[in-house]
């Protein structure tokens, strides 16, 4: 099998991150576990509501990637996962 020629892609700029400058209080084991559960549920609900917008954002900023109606990516047929 003949390998495909690869195009050189520019490096992505590092994403800006937001650091929370707050002191977290000491919590009991039960309270820490409950808070973690709340945050996970919030994450899942957020992603469920905004999933399409998140995909559109990443598609707009990733070279050579297109989101189609059926969820498949037809623009790249290579066997590499990334």
Looking at the domain assignment, is residue 1 inside a domain?
no
Looking at the domain assignment, is residue 51 inside a domain?
yes
- Full-model pTM: 0.47
Looking at the domain assignment, is residue 34 inside a domain?
yes
Looking at the domain assignment, is residue 67 inside a domain?
no
Could you list the residue range(s) of the whole structural domain that residue 46 is in?
A: 28-61
Looking at the domain assignment, is residue 38 inside a domain?
yes
Check residue 22 and give its pLDDT: 87
Looking at the domain assignment, is residue 68 inside a domain?
no
Query: SS3 sequence, 8-73?
Result: CCCCCCCCCCCCCCCCCCCCCHHHHHHHHHHHHHHHHHHHHHHHHHHHHHHHHHCCCCCCCCCCCC
**pLDDT tens digits for 17-55?**
777 788 989 999 999 999 999 999 999 999 999 999 999
Count the domains in the chain.
1
How far apart (Å, rounded) are the C-alpha atoms in residues 82 and 80?
6
């Amino acid at each position: 099998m003949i390998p495909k020629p690869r195009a050189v892609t520019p490096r992505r700029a590092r994403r800006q991150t937001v650091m929370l400058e707050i002191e977290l209080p000491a919590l009991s084991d039960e309270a820490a576990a409950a808070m973690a559960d709340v945050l996970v549920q919030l994450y899942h609900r957020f992603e469920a509501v905004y999933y399409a917008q998140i995909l559109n954002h990443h598609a707009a900023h990733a070279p050579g990637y297109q989101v189609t109606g059926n969820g498949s990516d037809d623009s790249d047929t290579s066997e590499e996962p990334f």
